Chains A and B, each alone.
Chain A
């Protein structure tokens, strides 16, 4: 017994190394067999604005376990270009999926949802229309030009008289990498107003309120998804898109403030 303890003290480093090796092998084994069960796992790279809706949808989805990577659509597209292989790419626009399709990275994109661009303000804000955003000293946050929310916003501002566009852009204090980052700045009271999707405002449960844009300014916000070429479980990936467009997820999307896929 005593000898045994003595031995144990002799090589703690070796024992630690051995333990570490076992752990690494075990972890690698787990990763290789993709969950171990019969149910496959789908990895979905999705726009940050889809976070709440897709997370709920995934819990109801029967044909596969779904794991998400939520970020700005442009970051996700760049990752796929650099060789990242999620099963599915769901973007907050149709431009990025169309680009990836023409580069041969993903299947022909399908439009699966629409959304509405709004001005998001704290619940107690006095801002009532897009004209109020010109007031000097209004702290405005928008999306970076590279991310869909940012390019929709610039599209809207581009339709305004150029003096008004200039005045509003002069109030922009930050260009955020994704929509959740814009919402965070608003709920923390750091900014007075921001451009987001109506679904994002709904997700804050009353902390923020949405101010509609004049109908003539409203851009056509369409979400497109494509299956990444050469990835396994293509059937389940398509089933997930179908579920969003016409299955049980459609209702979830609506509850979260998304619109039906617009007719292009």
Chain B
């Protein structure tokens, strides 16, 4: 009895796999296709004349690239340290660094407000230094850096961990300091891997919505990034929101495509 059932399951399983793949494909691709189906190329170009849209795209580029720069400069040495050292509490540290990956963005925003807002833990310190983040473009960068950094850190850490040890050891035996080895050997060798991590972080930052709205607010030209502008236009100007969405999708596809291409050129 059981074995007959087992045979039936075995026969049906490949069919079930095909159905599952088809359902997944349609489910994930359809909303993206719908954005382009609903917006004509003319609408897309026209909407790019709207000052709110132009401001949002410019601000999104400016803030995401700034956040990315911070993530690269600070994150690369951090990833190197985590990849090359074994110490007590390392696992806890890695978990904390990965936490923003699973945190709801709105929670991240509230957390940032509670930490860096005027009434937050560091609020008085920042205030005395004359640093304002809430309602400022700098606040957007902070929110983006917070949510996007784990995407780079994880990738960079695993890239450094999978480096050929003999390369690093040869560099050290030849008398190079760790700093020189890091800069001249580790980073260049892991370069494509680091770049794909950076692209993922960039993609996440471009799409950021909740943390930005809660922590930095929404104001045209100052804190209203493209996703916030889409939400603001959704109620009153649906074609405009769709057009801006289409631009973001095009960006995301370009980023993802870039990552895949890099992966082909040099498998990590």
Binding site for B on A (CB under 8 A): 7, 11, 14, 17, 72, 74-75, 77-78, 81-82, 139, 141, 144-147, 172-177, 181, 184-185, 188-191
Contacts and interface: CB of A to CB of B under 8 A. Distances in A.
A176 B218 contact: yes
A176 B16 contact: no
Nearest to A82: B238
Contact of A175 (B2, B13, B119, B218): B218
Nearest to B216: A174
A172 B221 CA distance: 13
18 contacts: A14-B9, A75-B231, A77-B235, A82-B238, A139-B135, A147-B235, A173-B222, A174-B135, A175-B224, A175-B232, A181-B213, A188-B118, A189-B117, A189-B119, A190-B118, A190-B134, A190-B135, A191-B135
B82 to A, nearest CB: 33
Nearest to B9: A14
Nearest to B232: A144
A78 B239 CA distance: 12
Contact of A174 (B2, B217, B238): B217
A17 B19 CA distance: 12
Contacts of B84: none
Query: Looking at chain B, what size class is its interface with the partner chain?
Result: 20 to 34
Contacts of A77: 235
Contacts of B224: 175
B234 A75 contact: yes
Contacts of A172: 219
B266 interface: no
B217 A173 contact: yes
B76 interface: no
Contacts of A176: 213, 217-218
A78 B235 contact: yes
Contact of B219 (A17, A146, A175, A189): A175
Contacts of A191: 135
Nearest to B12: A14
A11 B213 contact: no
Contact of A7 (B2, B135, B213): B2
B122 to A, nearest CB: 13
A151 to B, nearest CB: 10
Nearest to B132: A139
A74 B237 CA distance: 11
A174 B232 contact: no
Q: Which 5 A-B pairs have the closest CB atoms?
A: A174-B217, A74-B235, A189-B119, A173-B135, A146-B236
Nearest to A20: B20
Contacts of B232: 144, 146, 175, 177
Contacts of B135: 139, 173-174, 190-191
Contacts of A141: 217
Nearest to B237: A146
Nearest to A192: B118
Contacts of A11: 6, 9
Interface in B117-136: 117-119, 123, 134-135
Interface string B125-160: 000000000110000000000000000000000000
Residue of B6, B123, B220, B235 contacting most chain A CB atoms (<10 Å): B235
B238 A190 contact: no
B213 A75 contact: no
B226 interface: no
Contacts of A173: 134-135, 217, 219, 222
A74 B219 contact: no
Given A177-B232, A190-B117, 15 more contacts: A7-B2, A14-B9, A17-B16, A78-B236, A81-B238, A144-B232, A145-B236, A146-B233, A173-B217, A174-B216, A176-B213, A177-B213, A181-B213, A188-B119, A190-B119
A184 B214 contact: yes
Residue of B6, B214, B218, B232 contacting most chain A CB atoms (<10 Å): B232
